[in-house]
């Protein structure tokens, strides 16, 4: 008796297992295809993983209900990429595969797109009767915005029969349009002539788009890396090929898109968190259909179903936001490198402060290193200086020389930037009589005081409460904010510079969609102003008139328990300093610190990142830390610390192996977060393979053993934070 054909299906569930179904006679299915399957009393969307599997004897399989489309939603390389990632990050295959689908397709919606037609004028409308006012207005609207969609015209007050009327008269015709850039003419323009240094770097970029190569482009801030990416794509990308440019979320601004569109017109397509489900589906389908787009996108763009991908660029490759912090904890950058390898195409990683991982890979000869150490145009590198604030009087955190430097910059008609590493008014409220500090009732952290709305907020959970004017413990009036946040710095600067606009850029001031754009537009006008902000300001922005960057306190990263903290501090400070002096005027950077003799800060002042990276790498080697060993964290969360520690104590013996080491279990840096008690094991191994095997074993054990319902665990491979 021949067995009926069968298929193994992945579901969008946090389950480390797949499900077998029978393929009914009238269906043929392929790996990567979307299907509907019965599951318990439900019908779920599934993805075919393989066909022709042998279920155990005596088991009657349920049939697949239907195929959602006759083609595989995930083409072969995308499917292989995700299977690899599922194994590498030890995350259930089903959830990994579904991450690569747009939300509509995850929910089992059909993949045909509601086509919205784009229109352009085909005539001046002279033939229209004089009294056809509505039709004339419609024609004028289309003339003024070629590529406008029917939907947009309806929103503007016209109706579909009117549009059809004009089309029937052949006064307008359908056109290819880019739904994300109405009015885009699709025309491309040449960029600036490359400088000598840029030209040399450009000649060193990959020339074979049909072979894997990994290049690390180390280019100081303002050296013109973006210009080089554009030049490279122009030179190497064939008209029928796709390319992917990954950028950190915050860098995907209209300015960045405009810069790419200037070169490539409507071939540029964006992918980011602000797209709605319809836009996501439309873009996803274009990629899946092999449209020769250049996709500029954030982390998850690396998982899209490209079919003709021939180049990948990862800008600001050191940025920790490439690592997903929850669920499927993949690194967009690392997946990009693997994807280039699978596809046999080049990947270019660019940064002014490369991650130690990439720097090490370059030293090992795994990545080809290109150095671009001159600023483009007339700009020269900024001058960095440390300002020891140990015995200086401070005005809410700012020393006299810092205020003077800001005053000087403004007097010259220039702009200044002040970097503070914490949002809110002050990181803590303290009673100067009894010593009480306000803590989050749900976490082991202090509450941050936000004066704008008189609230105390926890930055680790969503707890907030009204700020109390007196000490909640002893009722003393001597209850005061301690330390610096962006709001407080903003207030001090407003006092000191009453006539100068102050622009605060942090998560609080940019919550509304588009607000960061409005804030940055103000700065780009070039008028004297002071920018105050957090990390958000440090990343990749081009402010030609900022000539001074001041860092309120550089010491956070010097003595942290997190092994990545010094690297991140150095990167942030250099990125901040990179915002100064990008135009024709020289830039200056003032770094306030209580440790002006610290070797790391001294080296930083030379602005020599390669030297710093070598120093930091030497420390990592001594500490036997990544990138010299592979690392993963196993974290447990429970209602009590004892339960978390207990679970990890059970696991620990399973992780013992030659060449590997396990630290812990220990409470996490923030041991209690949102009333959950967190503990962790840190696993290090000389062999990534071995680490992967250990993790697979542990995950399987944890899956198969019933844990108390409130106990949760996660595994984080290549963690960004060890806290
Ligand atoms: P990066 O990405 O390395 O920070 P950008 O590509 O943003 O640098 O370039 C910094 C600034 O210098 C931008 O304003 C850019 O337009 C300008 N620029 C880059 N290359 C050139 C060039 N060859 N000629 C003139 N201006 C340039
Ligand atoms: Zn008190
Ligand atoms: Zn909290």
Greater confidence, 425 or 168?
Answer: 425
- On average, the pLDDT of the chain sits at 89
Which residue has its alpha carbon closest to ligand 1 atom 8?
224
Asked if residue 219 has its Cβ within 6 Å of ligand 1, the reply is yes
Residues 211 and 183: beta-carbon distance below 8 Å: no
CA distance 292 to 313: 16
Question: What percentage of the chain has pLDDT greater than the value 90?
Answer: 62
- Tokens for 247? 């950028």
pLDDT single digits (tens) 311-333 = 999 999 999 999 999 999 999 99
Please return the burial class of 238, using the count of CB atoms within 10 Å of its CB with bins 0-12, 13-18 and 19+: exposed
Whether pLDDT at 182 is above 60: no
Residue to mutate, 198, 200, 227, 252, ligand 1, most ligand atoms under 8 Å from C-beta:
227
pLDDT band of 181, cuts 50, 70, 90: very low
542 lines ligand 1 (CB under 6 A): yes
**pLDDT value at position 114?**
59
- Predicted confidence band at 184 (pLDDT cuts at 50, 70, 90)? very low
Closest CA to 105 of 82, 65, 74: 74
| Contacts of residue 17, Cβ cutoff 8 Å, sequence gap at least 6 | none
Task: Report d(CA 415, CA 529) in Å as an integer.
Answer: 5
* Separation in Å, CA 593 to CA 340, 381, 692: 42, 22, 42
Q: Establish whether residue 256 lines the binding site of ligand 1, counting it when its CB lies within 6 angstroms of any ligand atom.
A: no
Q: Is the CB of 222 under 6 A from ligand 1?
A: yes
d(C-alpha 341, C-alpha 318), whole Å: 20
Residue 443 CA: which ligand is closest?
A: 3
**So what's the pLDDT on residue 225?**
94
- Give the number of the atom of ligand 1 that is nearest the alpha carbon of residue 219: 3
In the chain, what is the greatest distance between 2 CA atoms, to the nearest angstrom?
A: 91
Residue/partner pairs of 108-112 with CB below 8 Å, 24 or more apart: 108/34, 108/36, 108/44, 108/45, 108/68, 109/281, 110/68, 110/69, 111/34, 111/68, 111/69, 111/73, 111/281, 111/285
Report the alpha-carbon distance of residue 230 to residue 261 in Å, rounded. Answer: 10
426 Cα to the center of ligand 2, angstroms? 18
Q: How confident is the model at residue 183 (pLDDT cuts 50, 70, 90)?
A: very low
Q: What is the mean pLDDT of residues 113-129?
A: 77
Nearest-CA residue for atom 21 of ligand 1: 376
Which token pair is 421? Answer: 């590493």
Question: Considering only CA atoms, which residue is closest to atom 6 of ligand 1?
Answer: 224
Question: Per-residue pLDDT tens for 496-543?
Answer: 999 999 999 888 888 776 777 777 777 888 889 999 998 888 776 778
CA 227 / ligand 1 centre spacing (Å): 6
Q: Are 523 and 529 in contact, with CB atoms under 8 Å apart? A: yes
Tell me the average pLDDT across 357-368. 97
Atom of ligand 1 nearest to the CA of 226: 6
Query: What's the pLDDT score for residue 137?
Result: 85
Confidence of residue 337 (pLDDT cuts 50, 70, 90): very high
Are residues 532 and 538 in contact, defined by beta-carbon separation less than 8 angstroms? Answer: no
Which ligand lies nearest the alpha carbon of 448? Answer: 3
Q: Is residue 69 scored above 70 in pLDDT?
A: yes
Residue 455: pLDDT over 80 = yes
CB of 698 closer than 8 Å to CB of 634: yes
For ligand 2, the distance from its centroid to the CA atom of residue 437, given in whole angstroms, is 8
Atom index in ligand 1 nearest the CA of residue 220 equals 3
What one-character DSSP code corresponds to residue 384? E
Q: Which residue has the higher pLDDT, 698 or 573?
A: 698
Structure-block tokens of residue 373: 């150490």
Atom of ligand 1 nearest to the CA of 352: 3
pLDDT band at 176 (very low <50, low <70, confident <90, very high): low
pLDDT digits (tens, 9 = 90+) for 220-261: 988 999 999 999 999 999 999 999 999 998 777 778 888 899
Structure-model confidence comparison of residues 679 and 575, the more confident one: 679
**Six token digits for residue 288:** 């899946």
Predicted confidence (pLDDT) at residue 179 exceeds the cutoff of 80: no
What is the arithmetic mean of pLDDT over 428-452?
A: 93
How many Å lie between the centroid of ligand 2 and the Cα of residue 478?
Answer: 7
Indicate the pLDDT class of residue 640, thresholds 50, 70 and 90: very high
Choice between 720 and 125, residue whose per-residue pLDDT is larger = 720
The finding on whether 468 has its CB within 6 A of some atom of ligand 1 is no
Closest CA to 267 of 191, 186, 189, 209: 186
Across the range 426-451, mean pLDDT stands at 93
Query: Do residues 8 and 50 make contact, with C-beta atoms less than 8 angstroms apart?
Result: yes
Provide the whole-model pTM.
0.86
DSSP 686: S
Ligand 1: residue whose CA is nearest its atom 4: 222
The terminus-to-terminus CA distance of the chain in angstroms comes to 59
Q: Report whether 92 contacts 86 (CB < 8 A).
A: yes
For β-strands 588-593 and 448-450, DSSP reports them as unpaired
Q: Using the predicted structure, report yes or no on whether residue 680 has a pLDDT greater than 80.
A: yes
For ligand 1, say whether the CB of 577 is within 6 Å of any of its atoms: no
**What is the torsion angle, in degrees rounded to the nearest 10, for the CA atoms of residue 616, residue 619, residue 621 and residue 623?**
-140
Weakest-pLDDT range from 366-370, 561-565, 687-691: 561-565
- Separation of alpha carbons 512 and 516, rounded Å: 8
Token duo for residue 393: 């009087």
Ligand 3 centre to CA of 464 (Å) is 8
Residues 6+ apart with CB under 8 A from 225: 217, 219, 315, 350, 352, 372
Predicted confidence (pLDDT) per residue in 139-157, tens digit: 888 887 788 877 777 777 7
Q: What percent of the chain has pLDDT over 70?
A: 97
């Amino acid at each position: 008796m021949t067995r009926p054909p069968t298929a193994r299906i992945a579901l969008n569930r946090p389950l480390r297992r797949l499900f077998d179904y029978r393929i009914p006679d009238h269906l043929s299915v392929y790996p990567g295809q979307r299907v509907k399957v019965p599951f318990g009393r439900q019908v779920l969307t599934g993805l075919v993983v393989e066909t022709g599997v042998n279920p155990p004897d005596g088991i009657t399989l349920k049939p697949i209900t239907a195929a959602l489309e006759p083609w595989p939603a995930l083409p072969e390389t995308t499917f292989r990429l995700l299977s690899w990632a599922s194994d590498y990050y030890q995350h259930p295959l089903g959830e990994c595969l579904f991450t690569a689908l747009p939300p509509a397709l995850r929910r089992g919606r059909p993949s045909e797109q509601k086509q919205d037609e784009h229109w352009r004028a085909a005539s001046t409308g002279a033939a229209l009767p004089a009294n056809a006012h509505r039709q004339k207005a419609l024609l004028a609207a289309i003339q003024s915005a070629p590529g406008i969609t029917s939907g947009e015209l309806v929103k503007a007050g016209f109706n579909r029969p009117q549009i059809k009327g004009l089309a029937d008269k052949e006064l307008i015709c359908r056109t290819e349009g880019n739904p994300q850039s109405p009015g885009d003419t699709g025309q491309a323009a040449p960029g600036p002539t490359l400088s000598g240094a840029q030209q040399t770097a450009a000649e060193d970029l990959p020339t074979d788009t049909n072979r894997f190569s990994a290049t690390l482009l180390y280019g100081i801030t303002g050296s013109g890396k973006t210009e080089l990416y554009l030049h490279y794509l122009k030179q190497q990308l064939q008209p029928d090929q796709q390319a992917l440019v990954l950028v950190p979320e915050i860098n995907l601004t209209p300015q960045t898109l405009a810069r790419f569109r200037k070169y490539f017109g409507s071939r540029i397509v964006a992918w980011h968190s602000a797209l709605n489900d319809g836009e996501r589906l439309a873009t996803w389908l274009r990629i899946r259909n092999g449209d020769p787009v250049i996709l500029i996108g954030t982390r998850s763009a690396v998982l899209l179903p490209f079919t003709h991908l021939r180049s990948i660029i990862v800008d600001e490759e050191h940025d920790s936001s490439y690592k997903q912090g929850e669920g499927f904890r993949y690194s967009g950058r690392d997946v990009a490198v693997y994807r280039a390898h699978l596809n046999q195409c080049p990947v270019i990683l660019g940064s002014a402060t490369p991650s130690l991982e990439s720097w090490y890979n370059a030293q090992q000869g795994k990545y080809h290193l290109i150095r671009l150490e001159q600023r483009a145009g007339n700009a020269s590198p900024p001058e960095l200086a440390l300002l020891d604030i140990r015995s200086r009087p401070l005005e809410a955190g700012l020393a006299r020389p810092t205020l003077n430097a800001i005053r000087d910059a403004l007097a010259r008609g220039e702009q200044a930037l002040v970097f503070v590493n914490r949002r809110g008014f002050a990181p803590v409220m303290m009673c100067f009589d009894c010593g009480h500090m306000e803590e989050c009732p749900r976490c082991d952290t202090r509450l941050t005081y936000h004066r704008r709305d008189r609230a105390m907020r926890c930055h680790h959970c969503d707890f907030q409460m009204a700020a109390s004017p007196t000490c909640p413990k002893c009722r003393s009036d001597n209850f005061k904010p301690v330390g610096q946040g962006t709001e407080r710095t903003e207030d001090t600067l407003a006092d000191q510079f009453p006539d100068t606009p102050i622009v605060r850029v942090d998560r609080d001031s940019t919550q509304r969609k588009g607000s960061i754009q409005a804030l940055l537009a103000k700065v780009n006008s070039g008028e004297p102003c002071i920018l105050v902000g957090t990390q958000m300001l440090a990343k990749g922005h081009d402010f030609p008139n900022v000539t001074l960057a001041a860092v309120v306190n550089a010491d956070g990263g010097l003595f942290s328990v997190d092994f990545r903290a010094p690297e991140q501090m150095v990167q942030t400070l250099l990125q901040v300093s990179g915002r100064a002096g990008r135009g024709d005027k020289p830039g200056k950077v003032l770094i306030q610190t209580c440790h002006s003799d610290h070797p790391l800060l001294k080296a930083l002042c030379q602005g020599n990142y390669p030297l710093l990276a070598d120093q930091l790498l030497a420390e990592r080697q001594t500490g036997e830390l990544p990138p010299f060993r592979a690392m993963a964290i196993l974290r447990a969360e429970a209602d009590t610390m004892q339960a978390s520690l207990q679970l990890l104590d059970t696991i620990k013996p399973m992780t013992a192996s030659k060449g590997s080491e396990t630290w812990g279990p220990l409470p996490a840096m923030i041991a209690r977060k949102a009333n959950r008690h967190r503990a962790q094991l840190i696993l290090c191994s000389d062999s990534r393979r071995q680490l992967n095997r250990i993790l697979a074993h542990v995950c399987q054990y944890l899956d198969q053993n019933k844990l108390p319902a409130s106990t949760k665990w996660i595994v984080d491979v290549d963690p960004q934070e060890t806290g």
